[in-house]
Amino acid sequence: MTTVCTLAWVHGLVQGVGFRYSTQREALKLGLTGYARNMDDGSVEVLACGDAPQVEKLVAWLKAGGPRSARVDKVLTEPHQPDRQWTDFSIRY
């Protein structure tokens, strides 16, 4: 399998509701690496790297609304070529 990376920006009520932690838990369950971090505009940026079907599952989970406490209005994604190798899925500050 080929490793792919996708950058996603999740907009809506996604900060202060445990969104990054839920995303980390979901990503680790899917065997992905990367990170989730809050952005200044109130969105959450997610970088997910791994097998293409697993990355697609995480993106689908994000688009479906993530954790129950969140409200996702839109998810923008684009392919990404990271400048480094990720070894785990972290929460960045």
Residues belonging to the active site: 20, 38
Q: What's the per-residue H, E or C state across the chain?
A: CCEEEEEEEEEEECCCCCHHHHHHHHHHHCCCEEEEEECCCCCEEEEEEEEHHHHHHHHHHHHCCCCCCCEEEEEEEEECCCCCCCCCEEEEC
